[in-house]
Chains A and B, each alone.
Chain A
Amino acid sequence: MDDIAKQVAHLSPAKLALLELRLKRKAAPSDTPEVILPTGDITEQVARLSPAKLALLELRLKGKTVPIDTSERIPPTDDITEQVARLSPAKLALLELRLKRKTVPVDAPERESPTGAIAEQVARLSPAKLALLELRLRQQSADTLDIPVEESLPADIAGVEVETEIPDRPIDLSILTDLVDAESESEVKEETPAWLSDLPLTREDAPPAQVEAVEPTETETAETGMEELDWLSGTVFEEIETPDWLLDGLGVSDQEGATPSSSDVAGFVETDASSPPPATAQPTPAENKSGWLATLRPTDEALVEDSESKTAEATGMLAGLSSLLPAEKSPVPSPEGKKDDLFEAAQEFYNIATQAPQPAVLPVPLTRREKMVGNAVKAVLYLLFIALVALPLVPGLQKVVDAETDRRVPWTEPAGDSSDVLDSQRRQLISEQLGIIDLQLPESVALVSFDYSAATQGEMQPLAEAVLGRLKGQRMRIISISLEPEGAAIAQKTLDDILTKRGGQYGLDAVNLGYLPGQVAAVRELATAPNALSAIADFKDGLKFDDPARAAWNDVQNLGQVDVIVTIADNPATARWWIEQLEMAPPPDGGERFLLAATSANAAPLLQPYRDSNQLNGLISGVNGAAAIEAGRNYFGPARKMLDSQSVAHLIIVILIAIGTMVGWMPPDKPPASSTAEQENGQNVATMNKEKES
């Protein structure tokens, strides 16, 4: 059952926010006219949370840096009572829950294993409970100790592995949520799940580290002092972490001076609220990764503005684009006027806390047999798709126009009169985007950067071959490099191939300088260093340009002697490095230098503005671009061989979109067609997810 905790922990911030939103939405009691005031204490409320929510809460608490009162230094302590006393109410509740859920007989032998004196203390439940009780009593009086607990999330090592192992396919979060909720019922009755008992033990495991984290430091003080720089904090990267339902409306609650004693929920909320906005939230690597995408979301305030977007995605990178997602809309109690924000926050929390797990969201659990049938149907459909796409690739089924020379063309490529549109489009593409190459003199130098790996070789290789062929056709000398480790081998293979086909000798007409480390730093170095090219030993023979065997390259030292730079990139980010860094480093001799980008189809639209502003002198992309070059030579090459299959696949996907849309139009109160198909599908994906996790 630790799956859920793990699953939640592995989610990216955006997904977390989404999950949160889903959980929140479910909570909205559409049929309750009257909102019940949060009366129960926080412990109870936490206890009622489903495992997914618990995991979420835990994660939040872990990630949160609670502010520090620098004036007061609290000495480290081994006293369990004191330690417990320092916990925030929410954490307390969690601890309490853990203690409650722990079943002694099962865990006992494990707990006696060497975990240090404090761990043992915790293992003996009564003192902790005593401390808890003590604290509760103390909390009633005014003074609540608010101690910073700075726990960074453990560096997620397994995350690396998981990412590489599992293909990145769209994960339907609603399914995860449903799954989680469906299982939560049985979960409660079970003995302590492993993930639940993890935290307290690990916390106790390393008391000194913990203590140090507690100790306020100067740098942290500096952080709080940085609030003046709030104008900078509007960066989108920051925003990912902030849409925190726990903190909703808390800034206001602070001003209104709600006291911790107003209610336990309010207290819970209040303690967290006393923190300044997490302007110092440090982006974790995971957040940085999604930097490009992260920018695709507006700030929260925008959403508050829009009253109708209350039902839309309010968090995550999809914020605001409600209608694009098939998310179920359930009414959320809308605030009437500017009521007490704290009350709203409390109410929201209460809603979530009291919401019963809803197995109703899932259809009746499928039997094993039904599942197998569902999986089989799905597999058959997938296989059908693959078969249809693969059919035109079978050499025997290709269209032969000239039997003698075995000249072939794609079936779908129009012939005769109707070919005009395509032909003129292709001609235009070549002349507009690759016209620069045609202007080059023989023996001029082209630098080709192979910025793709084996993963995208399927799409990029035909393009790379076509572009290199074009350069070779102009009798240019080619230097290849790569910003990816795997690119070096790919470049070598492609060069060898081209030299064999078009004539030429490695070392004379072309040379591969291999992998350059440093990503954007590599591009900068290449663009500015006076011996950027001559200092690198080549990939194949390990020779530099000053070697006698490389006499043909003596005139090339750096990018100043390069006439055309081509980046063959499978993503927009890499191409942007080239564009931006070259913009900042003009050619040393003040001459002209051209930059072309040959990219994957998905990167091209994101680079189009640079082409429009002439920062790129040419932009050609995907199988389509490669096919255009091949067609210009009347060559049935790798790209044109793919065109028929590409057509079939696109057509099938369009048909699927159409069917899916029509299914979506069916009235929702008639469950059969739409919902079952979807749910069955969802069920399968959920099963797959689950299996994968295990």
Chain B
Amino acid sequence: MSIRIGRVLATVVAIVVGLLVLADLFVSQWPNSFGGFSQIINVTGALLVSWAAIVIAFALFLGFANVISVHWTRIRSQKPGTIYSGILLLSLVGTLIVGFYSGGPNSYGSQLVFDFVLQPLEATFFALLAIFIAAAAFRAFRIRDLETFFFVLFAVIVLLGQVPLGIYLWPELPVIKDWILNVPTLAGVRGILLGVALGTIATGLRILIGADRPYTD
């Protein structure tokens, strides 16, 4: 019973809050205020949005809690990889100690951690992608018909047109690259954006009318 009440409550919250914020969006487009009505909506909407921002930030904490609990369990159950989990938690706790002891993210300690540990690691992980993209370029492209031909052709022109080297190969290359990006790609992306917008609206509406309830278990 209480569970059902919980579900209904969640659905009601999503619908009411969503409609209020949506109303705020449209009301703020109106020129006049209808006797303070629009102002009430505006204030309410703004308040709800600001609360949501805080809850979203807190939700990140939950993700972190998950990471910690996974690795803590792994250590306790002595599963393979315990040592790595230990290192993970150690570096986490170390970062926390440095951060809180030295007084926040702008403190000297946190800056050191960011500049010399976090930034190089994170950046290098993503740098590895380039190498694998190169490998994929070799394996993935097979021209079978006109369509794949165009795909590869456009990709190659843009690739070469983007770097100064392309000019040596063919002076017109950068110009053609610009044309590709400004005309056919613009058209294609705009069509995609319209579709995305429609999809977003439909998905959002489903949440606002309670047809979709991704927040329930």
Interface, chain A (partner B; CB < 8 A): 152, 155, 157-158, 160-161, 167-170, 172, 212, 217-219, 222, 226, 229, 232-237, 279-280, 282-284, 288, 291-292, 295-296, 323-326, 382, 385-386, 410, 412-414, 418, 421-422, 425, 453-458, 485-486, 488-489, 492-493, 516-519, 521-522, 524-525, 528-529, 539-540, 584-585, 601, 604-606, 608-609, 612, 622, 624, 643, 646-654, 656-657, 659-661, 664-665, 678, 681-682, 694
Contact = CB atoms under 8 A, between A and B. Distances in A.
B185 A608 contact: yes
Contacts of A385: 131, 134
Q: Which 5 A-B pairs have the closest CB atoms?
A: A518-B53, A517-B57, A664-B142, A647-B165, A169-B132
Nearest to A378: B135
Interface in B40-78: 42, 45-46, 49-50, 52-54, 56-57, 60, 63, 66-67, 69-71
Contacts of B60: 485, 517
Given A323-B144, A323-B147, A656-B138, A646 B163 contact: yes
A422 B155 contact: no
Contacts of B45: 528
A527 to B, nearest CB: 10
B185 A167 contact: no
B164 A170 contact: no
A545 to B, nearest CB: 18
Nearest to B187: A609
A660 B141 CA distance: 6
B19 interface: no
26 contacts: A155-B66, A168-B129, A169-B133, A229-B211, A235-B199, A279-B211, A282-B216, A291-B203, A295-B196, A385-B134, A418-B167, A425-B178, A456-B126, A488-B105, A517-B60, A518-B50, A518-B53, A525-B49, A525-B50, A525-B53, A584-B28, A608-B181, A608-B186, A654-B156, A664-B142, A678-B139
- Scoring B54, B164, B196, B213 by chain A CB atoms within 10 A of each residue's CB, the highest score goes to B164
A422 B11 CA distance: 57
Given A161-B70, A386-B131, A660-B139, A608 B182 contact: yes
A248 B162 CA distance: 45
A657 B155 contact: yes
Given A234-B202, A518-B57, A664 B143 contact: yes
A458 B160 contact: no
A386 B132 CA distance: 11
Contact of A659 (B50, B80, B138, B140): B138
Contacts of A425: 174-175, 178
Interface in B124-174: 125-145, 147-148, 151-152, 155-156, 159-160, 162-165, 167-168, 171, 174
Contacts, number: 265
A235 B46 contact: no
Contacts of A161: 67, 70-71
B142 A489 contact: no
B33 to A, nearest CB: 14
Contacts of A489: 105-106, 110-111, 114
Contacts of B165: 412, 647-648, 650-651
Contact of A521 (B52, B70, B175, B216): B52
Given A652-B134, A678-B139, 9 more contacts: A219-B8, A219-B216, A385-B131, A413-B164, A521-B50, A522-B53, A622-B162, A624-B162, A653-B159
A507 B63 CA distance: 35
A441 B214 CA distance: 49
Contact of A453 (B111, B122, B148, B199): B122
A646 B56 CA distance: 38
B87 interface: no
B162 A326 contact: no
Contacts of B178: 425
Given A518-B54, A612-B186, A170 B132 contact: yes
A517 B59 CA distance: 11
Q: Is chain B's binding surface mostly helix, strand, loop or mixed?
A: helix
A492 B167 contact: no
Nearest to A226: B211
B199 A237 contact: yes
A518 B159 contact: no
Contacts of B206: 229, 232-233, 235
A205 to B, nearest CB: 16
Contact of B162 (A233, A284, A608, A650): A650
B190 A422 contact: no
A412 B163 contact: yes
Nearest to B73: A157
A115 B64 CA distance: 30
Contact of B214 (A288, A519, A609, A678): A288
Interface in B180-195: 181-182, 185-186, 189-190, 192-193, 195
Contacts of A682: 139
Nearest to A612: B186
Contact of B137 (A585, A624, A653): A653
B138 A235 contact: no
A325 B140 CA distance: 7
B80 to A, nearest CB: 8
Nearest to A383: B131
Contact of B168 (A296, A386, A412): A412
A295 B3 contact: no
A282 B186 CA distance: 33
Contacts of B148: 323-324
A660 B138 contact: yes
Given A168-B129, A539-B106, A414 B199 contact: no
A654 B159 contact: yes
Contacts of B192: 295-296
A524 B211 CA distance: 25
A283 B204 CA distance: 12
Given A517-B57, A521-B52, A160 B66 contact: yes
A661 B164 contact: no
A574 to B, nearest CB: 14
B152 to A, nearest CB: 6
B88 to A, nearest CB: 8
Given A235-B206, A454-B122, A660-B138, A647 B143 contact: no
A283 B135 CA distance: 33
A650 B4 contact: no
B152 A219 contact: no
B5 to A, nearest CB: 11
Contact of A237 (B70, B144, B203): B203
